[in-house]
Every structure is written in structure tokens, then in C-alpha cells.
Amino acid sequence: MPSQDSKKNFALLRDRILGRSGKDYWRSLEEFVDAPEFEEFVKREYPDHAETWDDSLSRRNFIKVMGASLALAGLSGCVIQPPEKIVPYVSQPEGTLPGRPLFFATSYSIGGVAMGLLAKSYDGRPIKIEGNPEHPGSRGATDVRAQASLLDMYDPDRSQHVQFRAEPRSWADFQTAFRAAIDQDRPNGGAGIRFLTETITSPTLIDQFKRLQAELPQAKWIQYEPINNDNALAGAKMAFGSTAQPIYHFEKAERILSLDDDVFSGFNVAYLKDYAAGKAWSPEKTDINRLYVVETTSTLTGAKADHRIAVKPSQLTEVAKAVAAKIGVGGATSTYTDNGKWIDAMTRDLMANKGKSLVVAGRTASPVVHALAHAMNNALGSVGQTVTYAEPFSPGTDRAQTDQLRDLVTDIENGLVKTLVIMGGNPAYNTPNDLRLDFNRLNTKVPLRVHLGSHYDETADICHWHVPEKHYLESWADGRAYDGTVTMTQPLIDPLYDSYSKYELVQLCFKENFDKKDYDIVRAFWQTQNVSAPAAVATTAAAANTARPTAASPANNASSNNANSAPASGTTAAGRGSQANTAGSAPAATSANAATAFEDRWRKYVHDGFVGNSAATAKTVTANSAFLSQPQPSQPAANGDLEILILPDPNVYDGRFANNGWMQELPKPLNKVTWDNVGLVSPKTAEKLGLNQSNRAEEYVGGDHGIAFINTKGTNQFSDTVDLTYQGSVIKNVPMWITPGQPDDTITIFLGYGRKRAGAIGNDIGYNVYDVRPSTALDFGTGSVKKTGEQVTISSTQIHFNMEGRDILRSWDLEAYNADTKMGEQEDMYPKSLYPYEQHQETYEHHHRWGMTVDLNNCVGCNACVIACQSENNIPVVGREQVDRHRMMHWLRIDAYFGGPDINQPNGPHFQPILCQQCEQAPCEVVCPVHATVHSAEGLNDMVYNRCVGTRYCSNNCPYKVRRFNFLLYQDWDTPQYKLMRNPEVSIRSRGVMEKCTYCTQRIAAARIEAEKAGLSKVPDGEIVTACQAACPTNVFTFGDMNDPESQVAKIKKNDPRDYKVLNELNTQPRTTYLAELRNQNKEMPDYLNPETPVGENLSQSPNTL
Amino acid sequence: MDLKEMHEKMVPPMIEGDHTFGTVSDKIGDVALKRKTPFHWFIGFAIAFIIAQLLLFTTIWLLLKGIGIWGTNQPNGWAFPIINFVWWIGIGHAGTLISAILLLLNQKWRTSINRFAEAMTLFAVANAAVFPLVHTGRPWLAAYWLFPYPNVMGIWPQFRSPLIWDVFAVSTYGTVSLLFWYVGLIPDLATLRDRAKNRYFKFVYSVGCWGWRGSARHWHRYELAYLILAGISTPLVLSVHSLVSLDFAVSQLPGWHATFFPPYFVGGAIYAGFAMVLILCIPLRHLYNMKDFITKTHLVFCGKVMMATGFIVLYSYAMEAFFGWYGASQYEWFMIKNRIWEGPYWYMYWLLLFFNGACMQVLWFKRFRESEIALFLVSIAVSIGMWLERFVIIVTSLSRDFLPSSWGMYSPTVFDITMFVGTLGFFFTLIYLFVRFLPVISIFEVRTLLPAANVHGHSEDFEENVLEIEYTYERTDPPNRD
């Protein structure tokens, strides 16, 4: 009887599978193929295919076996049901419709600063990150890291199960082993236990540690991450006697001095928003803020500066003192004598704006500079105005993180540490080279090492246990925003893998109640907190009805969902974590009222994504300048003729984004380098050292051309490599990159590269700075370089940083412009056309007429829009070799152009986001032989992907070069994780197809449908927010219907005289127009550029100061 | 000096040696029929055939992987494939010019070279046609979406796009060239049929000549058809490359956007085409001892045409630069500066001037015009030069257009090169096959060049001549049945 036989075989197979565990379980699949039972089984079930199983494991067979394994997994499922609760939609959760996106408030933390987000969920899959418009740290915008964090969640290289010495284990195994170790140490009060985390501001986690302290008083918690606030906190201590965290109010600051503070590259979106508010120009507000920057390398902040000087890192303290002396900080004297006029004029300007000026100091600046900044703000009357102070949000700031790490290392060396729990971070990679937690140091000294992390990285490699960490989109958490506002993180999806959160791991150390889910932990904590209950509770919020990422409605979506007690359940009703159930059964409370009150409060927190009015209260501090008379900490010994400055990479940060393809391929804001870290060197120093001199630089420098970038020959940027010696250690093969604006004799190198176990994408790219970075000279010191004589190719997406005198990016002097706002007027090209245009105009009158403005004045080049676009539109990553061939795919790019007559004192680079201009008279449309790019009645250049045959004529004829072509199959069609991640509203383009920006046509369509449903003839203004616009922290983009005279975009185009079209003379009639950048120059400054003396050949007509 | 002498002095004889109708037929026909296939043919064919495989393999790889295997990139959306396309199409032009325009102008010297010039045209067009198709991202769709075929969706190609014009222009050109060449072959195929001893050959030639018997009516119809085809071909000589040039001129890219492109391109095409004719016929007349039919005079004439068209091309270069300077567009002027001395590809421009401009100047001298070696070398130089011209036009313009931020360099990959070299192999493969199996020179037309054919009036000579002609064909025409 065949059915009997097959049953028997099934049983055999099942037994074989179930007889294994862990790694064997999977490995057994291969064995199956050879097993006689299997062969027989296949022969009986699929006689035609039987022989194919005899082959050795080819790719085809592998996939078949994979398929079979799924089926077999189903077989095993017949017997033992894992404790899963699969609940179909018997009654559909309120607000949930299949195919309709929902937005949930959540948050993302980096360096202990949380940013409120709205995550867009499609059928239970988070597919896009937006800012939370109500969260003070986001206000609707995001930064590049939050945008890219989505890809981290779907990273196929994430670790997927608990491991012990690289062998798969279960969480239960880990629990037993870990608790045994803790219990062993319990009699000693946990003296051998150390927790190592990154900067933590989570109130729940802090509370957990506090409670743990009661049980294990001797256990220690160390916070360390390579990019920290040690200097700032030390500076505050110097100035105030106790640590304090400054909170800046850039919107009130009319004059800003940055002492090497790269505010714009930081992850503080709120600061960018505030700065942009002050920088914004409109016919009504012609007065804008002014930014002075003293910096030690070229940064985004320096690029936006109205006046900038570059000094060596070692000079910064003296410069700060010189500035402080002029401002009137008692006791400040300086040995710095250069740039006297600059400092004089600048300080006069600051003093003239007392109470409205602000001095900020950078992370790498020495504590004295920070202390001086506090003193200067005090002297300028800024305290309470443009800056307030708060108690640091993270405990233990009395001791610098580096010192905490040093203590830990000392304890380890002394054999005091029995159990080291590393939660997050990657200390085996990113600790200073003298305090490196590497295998040699830990191996014999620490008997049990536990790592909680999202990847099996360098640190996991040296630990016994590795526990996968939940991504923030999979876990419950909380944190604090830059101003102290408590921010909630809620999951959008059940963890993709067997992963856990910090809360769950710490909870394991308690004697009782150790096995709790993060939801219960976080919720239980907030139940004990008596934050004043907000009045309104959004349980009766309107049903979710729009797909709009901003304004109130997404929050409504979230609220209606939460009201249903299923916080994370778009479709993930099958909750292994079963948050839904727990949420439903609130702990018994003594008072039913109290329970209800908390429930309301809790729902409000989760719904809003933050706890209202929880911002830190201002801490009253008084700065005194007594520190100036204290002995200064000695500088690291000089051992080289160059100064080396170490910065986190603008994209991969401290290395945590190394395996993020979006981040790797994102052009670095200032030099557009991708997939690598380079060393920055000034033109003069490069000449002196003979670096990159073969690139025919000279012809592009000076004269008619203004400033051009130097490394600009050919598609391939050949860079000389050097062996760089820093504090006695050598990094091999650092490619050098000439950077105008870099101080002479200073080389800037970037952290975050050279990783060995980042994953398939991030391994073995670039050089590793951590290996040479000692704890005594974390940020800068002296060193030297030796030319290796070799050249490497650097993939940069822009090779020419000079406008060649063309009217592309307008950057004008504010005063000259205010005097004559008409000076940028462009000729109307319509009448010049041979072909009458009326018939199109008639069509447009009956429709929407989409248009966009891009405010260059506000753009700081932070790249958030680029990644937002990539995420929204499923834009593939092409890889280094393809970027090298100049085939990058970003639909939106940010062009950079240097300005100024002197390459050693450039201004800029100035930034110009370029996306499809949606030309009315589009050159691309007429040349397409198959009608694959056509004009819509609403005026968009629609791109019909499935009609495109790929002649690329459209791209050739596009003067803006915004079209992108799939030269090869760039999309990953196979990786299942990426399938989940993609935006289902945007098609996935295949090989041989042209693609480009369409103003997020999917968002337009969604809004149009909603408007039609609501019976409106037009989409109301502000309903459609393009992805770039939503992400932008500085309000650069404005999008809307130009036919609606009340729309913001129509008003700007009509009223703002800065509005101009790029390449107007081609009569392409672009719908994307630009608003000129204005530089608020101080006439008294020595580097004042007279707008009457333009640079470049064509500028006699346009008053461009570029 | 009487008129006859003067005529002879001005128009040197187009045929040398002591030929009769019979010897002409023997000499040309025997290449295909009787003479043992020479060893050099095998060598040459083998080399060409092996090189042609590069085209095959590159195309297969291309279809599997996508055009990313080439060096084409973002600003340089077109590169080698389009350069090669324009180059091959240009080469074709000489053949049509020789066959059609010179026929209409009653230029006797075309007779000896038109057959293989037309074959060259055909093979060049075949090679050219490879590129526009496979250079697209999705050739399996481009293969028919670019044609206006009726479909249920009612989608038509976009007739405003020059690429569509190109499709029509090139396909018309290919078709007419094939017909023209084939119609011209029919009488000769009949000759070969009659003379072939090998029955297979005889069969193939019989099928090919469509039952040609050489009757007066056949001749009458033949002459009419040939004349009509010549009439159709004549505008094509001018139109095809004009339309190809519009691919560039219609766009607004500095360096492409120029109204004088059509004559500039046609001039260049004929220049390149005659160079290729010389490259083919100089070895041919040696290897197959055709010096009697392809005389020095022919070579000199080809050289003179090359000079004339070469100067059209040089004039165009000068005008291009002049317009750039004189026009008010800063982009155009930048393009000229970039192309000639400032840009990264400046050396390409100077190589172009050397190969296309300087080398040709030796033809001013009679000594070089009459030297086969000089002509051959100049022709090679011109072929290289014309390729460089297209490179300069396409790549230097695309690599640096309006926004400096988007500038990007182009460099070919190995597949770009194998593709191009492969088409050369394919071209010579076809040429070799043609030389082996078909009469490389039009037998019956060359016979009309013989003094015996130039008899006027109803004389006895005429009777003799007619008789001899009739005799050549073994069967005579049946009486007129009309």
C-alpha cells in the first residue's frame, strides 16, 4: 500500500529531522539527499524527478532541497506545535486594511539621543521611516541614519539565532547558562559581573540597572562608545563644577560661532530645523542668521558658513582663547596671533548681538574649548536665551567613558571580571588600541563573555555566547531625545529572527521575574512612573484613512491600532512575543481607576511616540573661568610633522553602518566618495608631499574657473596611498584626497572602515583607524605619512566641483541681494519657442499642476533626502565597481560646487539637490522611440518602465542628467529579506530599463484617490509630501499644485524673487525651480567677498559670488 | 588633336589588356567556378571567421548579462556601439553612391567596382544593424517595438524620435541595397549557371538567376528595373546618413546640436566608403589578377572622390569650431574648447585631424594618387579617422555637457573592443564568401566597356557583335511571342 509506505517514510524522515537539534538540524538536510529513505520517498512520490536527486549538490538542486526542506519542516510541524498563536482576522483590527499602509510612532537612538519616528507599515512590514511631526527631536524630519536604519533591519547578514562558540543554541540554553553564572556570583554581590553598553538614556534600562544594583551591588555598568561626549562633559565640569548638557536654541541665535562643531553632520534634526528657521529668507523676512565657523577640517557646517577659517586641531584651544579674550571672558589669554582681523570683526559682531548670539564647541574640541564656549555664552548673555543646560540624561557621566573603559580593562587585567556582558556596540573593533577588548586580553581573564548584538561581528567572535539583538523596529524600548523628552519605541513587526533586547537580557540577572518580554518590562516601568497624565487620550481617534506620513492622521492610525490592544500587529497577529495578549491583560491593580488611568496614559505615550512635557528642566549653572588658571592637560607627545584628525565617517559613522549598502553607496557629502574612506589633505600639503599630483590639477585651479576639485581626472579617481603613522602606529595604504578648505599640514582620517566581520557588504573596505587610535589621543595628535608609491581607484560620483562659470547654483550676498531683489530675474523663454504652447496650457488648467521648489539657502547637504528617496522608490545599490563606472542609481543627488577665488580659502562646497526637473518641454520625451517617457496631464514626466527598451537617448538628451539606467540586473530579486523591505507601491525595475524621479508619483496617486473619495475636486495643499521633502530637516523642498494659488509652492514661485530655473536658456521649462542661496556676509570681515567682483567668465551678467 | 584623341586623353581606358567578351567572362567567372580555391583564401577566411566568433560570443554574453558589460555609463549613454553603428553605415554609402549615382551620371568607371562595392554596402549595413538593436537595454523588445506594427493596445512608436526615423531609414536602405545588388547579379548568375560544371553549383546559380535567358525582353526589363532601383537608391545615399546624423542633431547636447550635420555626415560617409572600397579592391586586383578590369584609373578616381569628400569633412570641422565660437552659447564654446584642447579627450581630436585631415593631403600629388601603397595607407588612415570622428562627436560631447557635476569619463571594456573587432571579422567573412562564390566584378557590364561593345550604327560590326553576344549564351531567345 503506497499510502502506508509513504506514511512510513514520512515517519522516518521526520524522525531523522527531529533527532537533530541546532546546527545539525539544518545540516541534516544535506544528508537527507543521500539517505536511502529519502531516495525511496522521492521515487515513490515524484518518480520523474527521482534521478535528479542523485546529482551532487548543484545550485538547482540546492534550491529544490530548500523547497523540500520547507515541505519537510511542515511535516515536522504536524507533530510538535511550537507555542505559536496564529490568529487570523476573525475580526479585523480597526484601521487595518490589507494593502493600506499604517504609520506607527516609534523611535531610533544613536549615541543615546532618541529621535521620534513614524514607521510606515505595509501589511505588517515596515517599509519606510518618516519623522514624527510631534516629536521635539524630529518634528517630522529625519536624518540619513534613521532612514538607512530600515535596511539594517532587513540585512540578510544579521545573526539569526543564539550561538555558543558559533554553535547554534536555544534561548533557553542561554538562559540556563547565563543565570547559572550570575547565581554563582550572587553571593559576592555580583563583583565579577560587568555590563558594557553604549551610551544609554533609556529610563527603563536605567531603572533596571538601578534595581539590579540592589540585588548585585558589586556589579558594574560601563558605558562606552567611540563617539561620545567626554570632552563636552569634561568642559562643562570645568566651567560649572558639575556636568551639564547644553541644549541649543538655534532659532533664537542670529549670530552663531562654531568652534569646530559640525552641527549639521550630527544626528540632531531639531538643531537643523532651528538653524534653517533662522537661515530662511522670504520677502517678509529678509534678515537671516550668520554663521561663523572655526574648524579643523572641512565639514558640512563649514560649507554652510558665512565666514570660515581653518586651523590646525592643536591650535583650536588657543583660537578659542583668543576669541574668549575679545569677548571678555576673564583671564583668557592666547598665544594665537593669526587671523587677528577675522577674530576682531567676528567678536564685534557677536557682542553687538548680545543675547542673540551663540557659541558652540565641537565634540573633538578639548574640554577647555567647551568650557570657554560656556564662558563665552555667559559673557554674551546667551544662557537662557540661545542655550540652556540640563542634567545629562545618561547616568555615570561624572566619569568619562574612556575612563570607564580603562577601569574595565584594569579590572579584567586584574582578573576581577568573571562575566562580561556586552550589550550593543562593538568594543572588539572600536575601542582604543591600548584598551582594546580583544581576544588576547579577554581569553584567559574573563571566563564568561556574552554579546548581545544584531550581527555576529568582531565582538561576537570573541565572546562565548552571542545573542541576536532585536532591531528597534522589532522591540519595545524608550529613550530620551536631545532635550530630554522621553521617547517610546514600539515594534512594527515580530522579530524576523530569534532575537532579544537589552531589557530582556538585563532582566535575566534578577533573581525573580527574570523571564519577561521587553513589552512587559517597559510597560511595567512606566506604570510605576507618575508622569502627569495628559488630559486627552486618543482612544476615539478617527479611523485611519490617509497614507499621509505627516500631520495628525498617521498618529491617528497608530492610535486606533493601539486602542485595539494590538500595538504591533499590522499582520503580525501571530505574536511569538505575544505582546497583544499581555497588553490585553493589564496587571491587576488595586484601583480600577488607577489601572484605567495608566492604560490611557500608556496608550497615549505609545501612540504619540513620546511622553508629553517630559523635556528636561533647565539646570541652573554658573560658568566661572577659574579653569583657565588650572594647569592644562598635556598634549600627546609630538611624533610627526603632520597633525592627524580623526572623525567618524559621515556615512558609516563609527562602523555600525558598515554593512548597510545604502550608506556605503551614499556619496559622502563633501567629496562624493563612496564605498571607501579617504584621508583628507589640503592642496598645499598635497603638493608638498607630492600626493595626487599626477591628476593634471593645475589647469582647473584659479583663473576663469574659480575653484575646481583637484582629484578630477577621468572616471577613476586615482589616489596616491600613504602609510600613515599616528602616535607610533601605522595604518597601511590610506588613499589621499585633496580637499580645498582643509587646514595645511593636517590630515583627516575617518573611523568606521576596515571591518573584518561586518557582513558581506562591509567586510574589508577601507582602512581601520581604531587600530592606531590610543586612548591618550582619541581625536587628534601628530603623525606622519610616507608615500607608498601606489595608486588606488576611488569611486566618487562627482568628479568636477566647479561650475565653469555657468548659472547653475546661485549663491548671492545677502546685502547685495536685499538691495536689489530683482537681480536674478530670468528671461521668459516661452515666447521664443517656435511652437505655440497654448493647447498644453489648456490641458493643465483642468488638472493639478505639480511643481516643486528647492531652497538652496536652507540645504546643508546632509543627504537625508537621498536615502529617503532610495528607500521610498526601491532604488538598488549597484556596488563599488559600478559606481566606479559612473553608474550610480540615486534618483536624487546632491551636487556640490566650490566657490571663491582661492583654492586654499574656498567657500562651500555649496549644495544643490538635483532630481528630475519635470520639464514642461522635456527633451527626454521627444527622443524616446517607444513612448516610454511621456508627459502626464498633470505635467509630470512619467516613466513607463515596462515600455522602456533602453535606448538611453532620453538620458543623453537630458541636460540635468537625472536619469538612471539599469545597465545590469542591479535589483536583488532573490534575497527574501529584501522582498519584505520594498515599497509595494513602486515597481522594481529590471535590467535594461531607464528610471528616474517622478515626484513620488505613488504618493500623488494615493492622495488623489483619497481626495476623490472625499468628494474633493483637488488634492488639498500639503496632503502630498514627497519622500525627500518629508525627510528634509531644513525645509528645502516644497511640493504642491501650482494651479492652486493658495498652495505654498505657488506662492513661493510667485512671490519669492530668488526663484530661478536651472538652464533656463534651454527652454525646458522645468517645474522644479530653485531658490538662490544667500550668504550673510559681514562686510568688516577680511574674507568678505565683494559681490561686485564676480569670479568666472559669465558672471558679469549674474551677481554670483560663487 | 581630334575629339577622339582628346576624349581618350581625358578619359583613360577603363579596361586594359587584350580582352574579348569571352575572355572577360572567363576571367571573372573562373574565380568562382574553375580556378582552384587559392591557399590565401583559406588563410584569410579562417582568420576572418575566427574573429567573427568574437561577435557571436560577445553578443551572447551581452544578452545574458546586459549592456553593463560595456563601458557605457551614465553621462555617456552611447559610446562604442553607436560609434560603430555610424561607422559601418557610413562605409556602406560608397557602394550605393557608386552603383546608383554614378550610374545615373553615366560614369563608365563605376562598372568595374560596383559589384563588390555594393556587396560591401550590404555587409556593412548588416554589421551596422547589429548595433542599434543590441545596444538597447532590452533588445528582445526593441526588436519589434520600434516598428509600427498593429497591436491591441494601440501603442505606436513615437514618430518624433529620430531613432524611429533611423529604423525606417536603415531598413529601407538595407532592403534597397540588397535588391539593387541582387538585380545586378542576375545576368551574371545566369552566365555562371551556364558555365558551371559542378551540378550543385549549377543548381544554386539556376535558382539564383530566376531563369534568366538573356532575351531582349529580359534585358529590357532588367535595364528598367535597374534604372528604377538606381533612382530609388540615389536619394537614399543622401537620406540615410542624414537621418543618422539627426540622431545627434535633434538632441540639444552641445556638440550634437548642429544644423549642418546632415551634409557633414554624408560627406564623411562617402569619404569613409571610398576608403573601404580601396581597402578591398587594391588587394583584390592583385590576388585575383584583376588589374585589367580594376585599372589604375579606377584607383585614381577613387582617390579623387576621397579628396573631394575629405575636404567637405575638413570644412565641417572648421565650421563646427567656428559655430562654437561665433554662436552665443557658452556651452557650445566650452564644448569646442573641451574637444580641441582643454578636455580630457583632446588627443582624440588631434588624432582625428591627423588621420582624416593630414594623411589625405598626399593625394594632391599624382605620384601618390597612382601609388597603390599610398592609396591603401591613406584609406586605412581615413577609416581610422572616421571612426575617431564619431568617437569625438559622441563621447566628448556626452562626457561633458551642461552640469559639471554630472560629467563622467568613458573608457571601453574588453567587450566593447571584441564587439567591434568581431564585426570586422564578420564583414571580412562575408567578403571572402562573396569573392569565392559570386562574380566580384560585373561580367556583363565590363563587357560593355570593351571596344567591341562600343559600336555605333547598323553596320556589319554590329551584326557581328550581336551575334557574339548571342553566342555567349548557349541558348538564344525564342522569337518574340507578343
Torsion of CA A124, A126, A131, A135, to 10 degrees: 50
Instruction: Select from A885, A927, A964 the Cβ nearest to the Cβ of B162.
Output: A927
C-alpha cell at A1038: 516644497
Q: Show me where the domains of chain A are located.
A: 4-70, 163-226+397-474+497-527, 230-396, 642-793
- Distances in Å between the alpha carbon of A358 and those of A184, A252, A256, A892, A1082? 54, 9, 5, 34, 16
Is residue A730 within 8 A of residue A723, CB to CB? The reply is yes
Interchain CB distance below 8 Å, A800 and B407: yes
Task: State yes or no: cis peptide before B38, omega within 30 of 0.
Answer: no
CB A627 within 8 A of CB A105: no
Quote the DSSP letter at residue B328. S
What is the residue-averaged pLDDT of chain A? Answer: 82
Averaged pLDDT, A944-957: 93
- All residues of chain B having their beta carbon less than 8 Å from the beta carbon of residue A1062 are 403
In this complex, the residue of A802, A887, A928 whose CB is nearest that of residue B73 is A887
Distance CA A162, CA A164 (A): 7
CB atoms B74 and A961 under 8 Å: yes
Nearest C-alpha of chain A: how many angstroms from B91? 23
For residue B436, the tally of other CB atoms under 10 A from its CB is 15
| Percent above pLDDT 90 for chain A | 41
Name which of B73, B139, B167 is nearest A886 (Cβ-Cβ): B73
B68–A882: do the CB atoms touch at under 8 Å?
yes
Instruction: Flag if B77 and A953 touch (Cβ within 8 Å).
Output: yes
Nearest to B66 among A929, A955, A968 (CB): A968
Taking only the tens place, the pLDDT of each residue in A193-233 is: 999 999 999 999 999 999 999 988 989 999 999 998 889 99
**Per-residue pLDDT at A363 exceeds 80:** yes
Residue A362 has pLDDT above 80, yes or no: yes
Q: How many CB atoms lie within 10 A of CB A1046?
A: 10
Reference A1096, options A1088, A1087, A1105; nearest CA is A1105
Q: Could you tell me which of A665, A657, A655 has the C-alpha nearest to residue A876?
A: A665
Closest-CA residue to A145 (of A727, A638, A497, A650):
A650
What residues in A contact B160, CB-CB < 8 Å? 926-927
The closest CB to that of A992, out of B137, B344, B411, belongs to B137
In Å, how far are A695, B82, B408 from B345, measured between CA atoms? 14, 18, 12
Q: How close is the nearest chain A Cα to the Cα of B80, in Å?
A: 14
Strand positions, DSSP E, A100-173: 102-110, 113-122, 125-131, 163-164, 167-168
| Rounded Cα distance, B289 and B291, in Å | 6
Pairwise pLDDT comparison (A47 vs A1), residue with the higher score = A47
User: Would strands A642-647 and A780-796 be described as parallel, antiparallel, or unpaired?
Assistant: antiparallel
The three grid cell numbers given for residue B248, joined into one nine-digit string: 545627434
A1098: nearest CB among B253, B330, B411? B330
Residue A91 C-alpha cell reads as: 475580526
Contact (CB<8Å) B75/A961 = yes
Pairwise CB contact (< 8 Å): B401 & A961 = yes
Q: Compute the distance between CA of residue B385 and CA of residue B379 in angstroms, rounded to an integer.
A: 10
**C-alpha span between A972 and A984 (Å, rounded):** 15
Residue B322's SS3 state is helix
d(CA B123, CA B208): 19
Of A715, A926, A961, nearest to B406 by CB-CB distance is A961
In B, minimum Cα distance to A804 occurs at B404
Say if residue B350 is exposed, middle or buried (CB neighbours under 10 Å; 0-12, 13-18, 19+): middle
A802: left (phi over 0), alpha (psi -120 to 50) or beta: beta
The answer for residues whose C-beta is within 8 angstroms of residue B198's C-beta and 6 or more apart is B33
DSSP code, position A200: -
**DSSP at B74:** S
Q: How far is B334 from chain A (nearest CA, A)?
A: 9
A230-396 to CATH, choices 3.40.228.10, 2.40.40.20, 3.90.550.10, 3.40.50.300:
3.40.228.10
**In B, which residues are within 8 Å of A960 by CB distance?**
402-403, 406
Residue contact B163–A953, C-beta within 8 A: yes
Give the mean pLDDT of A425-442.
Answer: 89
**Which parts of chain B sit beneath pLDDT 70?**
1-13, 452-482
- B65 and A888 within 8 Å at the Cβ level: the answer is no
C-alpha to C-alpha distance for A542 and A352, rounded to whole angstroms: 51
Best to test chain B binding among A696, A953, A955, A968 (most B CBs inside 10 Å)? A953
What's the per-residue H, E or C state across A388-435? EEECCCCCCCCCCHHHHHHHHHHHHHCCCCCEEEEECCCHHHHCCCCC
Which of B74, B330, B394, B411 to mutate: most A Cβ within 10 Å? Answer: B74
Q: Nearest 5 degrees, angle CA A318-CA A319-CA A322? A: 85
> How many residue pairs from chains A and B have C-beta atoms closer than 8 A?
179
B chain contacts of residue A949, beta-carbon cutoff 8 Å: 136-139, 141-142, 145-146
Note the residue count of chain B.
482
Cell of A78: 504536524
User: Contacts of residue A1066 in chain B, CB cutoff 8 Å?
Assistant: 252, 402
Q: Decide if pLDDT at A635 tops 90.
A: no
**Whole-prediction pTM:** 0.84
Query: Rounded to an integer, what distance in angstroms lies between the CA atom of residue A650 and that of residue A634?
Result: 29
Quick one: pLDDT band at residue A242, thresholds 50, 70, 90? Answer: confident
Contacts of A198 (CB under 8 A, 6+ apart): A111, A112, A223, A224, A225, A424, A425
Question: Is residue B148 within 8 Å of B168, Cβ to Cβ?
Answer: no
Residue A313 and residue A297: Cα distance in Å, rounded?
Answer: 8
To the nearest whole Å, the CA of A689 is away from the closest chain B CA by 25
Q: Which residue has the cell 534521478?
A: A51
| Cross-chain CB nearest to B401 (options A803, A949, A959) | A959
> DSSP readout, A588-650?
P-SSHHHHHHHHHHHHHHHHHTB-TT-SPPPPP----GGGGGSPPPPPPPP-SSEEEEEE-BT
Closest residue in B to A809 (Cα–Cα)? B403
- Residues A709/A898, Cβ–Cβ less than 8 Å: yes
* pLDDT, mean of residues A458-485: 92
The residues, any chain, with a CB within 8 Å of residue A676's CB and separated by 6 or more, are A735, A753, A765, A766, A794, A795, A880
DSSP state of A1014: T
Rounded-to-integer distance, Cα A476 and Cα A106, Å: 9
Res. A541 pLDDT band, cuts 50 70 90: very low
Q: What amino acid occupies position A56? A: S
Please indicate whether, in this complex, the C-beta atoms of A969 and B410 are within 8 angstroms of each other: no
What value of ipTM does the predicted structure carry?
0.89
Residue A147 has pLDDT above 80, yes or no: yes
Backbone angles phi and psi of A865, in degrees to 5: -65, -35
Q: What is the DSSP letter of A919?
A: B
Smallest CA–CA distance, residue B211 to chain A, in Å, is 43
Q: Which residues are bridge partners to A816 per DSSP?
A: none
Q: How far is B133 from chain A (nearest CA, A)?
A: 9
C-alpha of A25 from chain center = 38
Mean pLDDT of A279-295: 91
Minimum distance, in Å, between the CA of residue B222 and any CA atom of chain A: 39
- Pull the grid cell for residue A864: 537625508
Q: Cβ contacts of residue A956 below 8 Å, gap of 6+?
A: A927, B77, B78, B251, B253, B398
pLDDT for residue A716 is more than 60: no
CB contact under 8 Å between B408 and A715, yes or no, is: yes
Residue A67 φ then ψ, to 5°: -60, -45
**Cα separation, A499 vs A469, whole angstroms:** 5
CA distances (Å), B70 to each of A817, B76, B99, B391, B411, in order?
Answer: 48, 11, 37, 15, 9
- Considering only alpha carbons, which residue of chain B is nearest residue A964? B74
CA distance A686 to chain B (A): 22
In chain A, residues with a C-beta closer than 8 Å to the C-beta of B410 are 715
What is the chain B residue with the closest CA to A700? B342
At residue A489, what are phi and psi to the nearest 5 degrees?
A: -115, 125
Give dist(CA A589, CA A597) in Å, integer.
11
Nearest to A1026 by CA among A866, A848, A849: A866
Q: Is the pLDDT of residue A520 over 60?
A: yes
Residues of A in contact with B71 (CB under 8 A): 885
| Cβ atoms A137, A108 nearer than 8 A | no
Write out chain B residues lying below 8 Å of A1063, CB-based. 402-403
What would the grid cell of residue B476 be?
538564344
What residues have CB less than 8 Å from B321, skipping those under 6 apart?
B336, B340
Whether the predicted pLDDT of A587 surpasses 50:
no
The answer, yes or no, to whether residue A446 has pLDDT greater than 70, is yes
Q: Using only C-alpha atoms, what is the Rg of chain A?
A: 30
Nearest CA in chain B to A965: B74
Q: Which residues of B touch A989 (CB under 8 A)?
A: none
Q: Does the beta-carbon distance from B157 to A931 stay under 8 Å?
A: yes
Cα A265 from Cα A769, distance rounded (Å): 20
* Residues B305, B311, B314, B318, CA torsion sign: negative
Q: Is the CB of residue A22 less than 8 Å from the CB of residue A167?
A: yes
Using CB atoms, pick whichever of B167, B334, B402 lies closest to residue A1063: B402
Residue-wise pLDDT tens digits, A826-851: 888 877 777 777 777 777 888 889 99
Position A606 pLDDT exceeds 80: yes
Q: Are strands A255-259 and A290-295 parallel, antiparallel or unpaired?
A: parallel
Strands (E) located in B147-265: none
- C-alpha B181/C-alpha B117 separation (Å) is 9
Q: Provide the CATH number for the domain formed by A163-226+397-474+497-527 in this structure.
A: 3.40.50.740
Domain A642-793 has CATH 2.40.40.20: yes
Predicted local confidence at residue A830, as pLDDT: 79
Q: Which of B158, B253, B334 lies closest to A957 in CB terms?
A: B253
Using CA coordinates, name the residue in chain B closest to A1068.
Answer: B252
Q: Which of A803, A895, A949 sits opposite B141 (nearest CB)?
A: A949
Residue A749 to chain B, least CA–CA distance (Å): 25
In this complex, which of A804, A923, A969 lies closest to B404 when CB atoms are compared?
Answer: A804
- Closest residue in chain A to residue B163, using alpha carbons only: A929
Q: Measured on CA atoms in the order B70, B75, B77, B81, is the torsion positive or negative? A: negative
Instruction: Looking at the complex, report in whole angstroms how far the Cα of residue B335 sits from the nearest Cα belonging to chain A.
Output: 12
Q: What is the pLDDT of residues A45-83, one digit of tens each?
A: 665 555 554 555 566 666 776 666 666 555 554 556 566
